[in-house]
Protein backbone atom coordinates (compact mmCIF):
# COMPACT_ATOMS: atom_id res chain seq x y z
CA UNK A 1 0.00 0.00 0.00
CA UNK A 2 1.30 3.43 -0.98
CA UNK A 3 1.47 6.07 1.75
CA UNK A 4 -0.16 9.40 0.95
CA UNK A 5 1.28 12.82 1.74
CA UNK A 6 -1.25 13.04 4.56
CA UNK A 7 -0.07 9.70 5.99
CA UNK A 8 3.58 10.81 5.83
CA UNK A 9 2.78 14.10 7.55
CA UNK A 10 0.92 12.25 10.31
CA UNK A 11 3.87 9.89 10.77
CA UNK A 12 6.27 12.84 11.02
CA UNK A 13 3.95 14.42 13.61
CA UNK A 14 3.93 11.17 15.61
CA UNK A 15 7.72 11.04 15.52
CA UNK A 16 7.80 14.67 16.56
CA UNK A 17 5.69 13.79 19.58
CA UNK A 18 8.24 11.10 20.45
CA UNK A 19 11.10 13.58 20.01
CA UNK A 20 9.39 16.04 22.36
CA UNK A 21 8.84 13.29 24.94
CA UNK A 22 12.47 12.15 24.65
CA UNK A 23 13.66 15.73 25.18
CA UNK A 24 11.55 15.92 28.34
CA UNK A 25 12.98 12.63 29.61
CA UNK A 26 16.53 13.82 28.82
CA UNK A 27 15.87 17.17 30.54
CA UNK A 28 16.79 19.00 27.35
CA UNK A 29 15.04 22.16 26.21
CA UNK A 30 13.93 22.81 22.65
CA UNK A 31 16.37 25.73 22.57
CA UNK A 32 19.28 23.43 23.55
CA UNK A 33 18.22 20.83 20.98
CA UNK A 34 17.92 23.40 18.20
CA UNK A 35 21.39 24.74 18.99
CA UNK A 36 22.92 21.25 19.06
CA UNK A 37 21.45 20.30 15.67
CA UNK A 38 22.26 23.67 14.09
CA UNK A 39 18.72 24.87 13.42
CA UNK A 40 17.01 28.12 14.27
CA UNK A 41 14.00 27.97 16.57
CA UNK A 42 11.49 28.17 13.69
CA UNK A 43 13.08 25.35 11.67
CA UNK A 44 13.36 23.18 14.79
CA UNK A 45 9.69 23.76 15.54
CA UNK A 46 8.69 22.86 11.97
CA UNK A 47 10.76 19.66 12.11
CA UNK A 48 9.33 18.56 15.44
CA UNK A 49 5.74 19.31 14.38
CA UNK A 50 6.00 17.39 11.11
CA UNK A 51 6.08 20.37 8.77
CA UNK A 52 9.69 19.75 7.78
CA UNK A 53 11.27 16.35 7.12
CA UNK A 54 13.09 14.77 10.04
CA UNK A 55 16.85 14.82 9.58
CA UNK A 56 18.36 11.81 11.32
CA UNK A 57 21.85 13.21 10.85
CA UNK A 58 20.86 16.27 12.84
CA UNK A 59 19.11 14.21 15.53
CA UNK A 60 22.32 12.23 16.03
CA UNK A 61 23.86 15.45 17.34
CA UNK A 62 21.54 15.34 20.36
CA UNK A 63 23.72 12.79 22.15
CA UNK A 64 23.17 9.79 24.35
CA UNK A 65 20.73 11.28 26.92
CA UNK A 66 18.29 12.06 24.10
CA UNK A 67 18.82 8.78 22.23
CA UNK A 68 18.50 6.62 25.34
CA UNK A 69 15.04 8.16 25.79
CA UNK A 70 14.08 8.31 22.09
CA UNK A 71 15.01 4.78 20.96
CA UNK A 72 12.49 2.93 23.17
CA UNK A 73 9.75 5.33 21.99
CA UNK A 74 10.76 4.82 18.36
CA UNK A 75 10.86 1.02 18.71
CA UNK A 76 7.44 0.98 20.36
CA UNK A 77 6.00 3.09 17.53
CA UNK A 78 7.50 0.88 14.81
CA UNK A 79 6.35 -2.35 16.48
CA UNK A 80 2.84 -0.99 17.05
CA UNK A 81 2.55 0.20 13.45
CA UNK A 82 3.89 -3.09 12.11
CA UNK A 83 1.43 -5.11 14.21
CA UNK A 84 -1.46 -2.90 13.10
CA UNK A 85 -0.54 -3.28 9.43
CA UNK A 86 -0.04 -7.05 9.81
CA UNK A 87 -3.45 -7.40 11.48
CA UNK A 88 -5.09 -5.38 8.69
CA UNK A 89 -3.34 -7.53 6.06
CA UNK A 90 -4.56 -10.70 7.77
CA UNK A 91 -8.12 -9.36 7.92
CA UNK A 92 -8.03 -8.48 4.22
CA UNK A 93 -6.65 -11.91 3.31
CA UNK A 94 -9.26 -13.66 5.44
CA UNK A 95 -12.02 -11.72 3.71
CA UNK A 96 -10.73 -12.92 0.34
CA UNK A 97 -10.64 -16.60 1.28
CA UNK A 98 -13.66 -16.75 3.55
CA UNK A 99 -16.14 -19.22 2.02
CA UNK A 100 -19.45 -17.80 0.95
CA UNK A 101 -22.49 -19.28 2.68
CA UNK A 102 -24.39 -21.74 0.54
CA UNK A 103 -27.94 -22.91 0.82
CA UNK A 104 -28.36 -26.53 1.76
CA UNK A 105 -31.16 -28.35 -0.04
CA UNK A 106 -34.33 -28.32 2.03
CA UNK A 107 -33.18 -25.50 4.37
CA UNK A 108 -34.06 -21.87 4.07
For 84-97, how does the pLDDT look when each residue is reduced to its tens digit (9 = 90+)?
777 666 666 666 66
Query: Model pTM?
Result: 0.70
| Four-residue CA torsion sign, 43, 49, 54, 55 | positive
pLDDT at 42: 93
pLDDT at residue 69 is higher than 50: yes
Residues with Cβ within 8 Å of residue 41, at least 6 apart in sequence: 30, 31, 34
For 20-65, how does the pLDDT look when each residue is reduced to its tens digit (9 = 90+)?
999 999 999 999 999 999 999 999 999 888 888 788 889 999 999 9
pLDDT at 1: 47
Q: Which residue has the higher pLDDT, 16 or 84?
A: 16
Domains belonging to the chain, first-starting first, are 11-94 (1.10.260.40)
What is the rounded CA–CA span in Å between residue 91 and residue 100? 16
- Chain centroid to Cα 61, Å, comes to 21
Amino acid sequence: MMATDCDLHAQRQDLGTDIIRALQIANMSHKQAALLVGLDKGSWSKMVHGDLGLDLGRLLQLGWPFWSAFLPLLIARVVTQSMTETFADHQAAAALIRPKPTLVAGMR
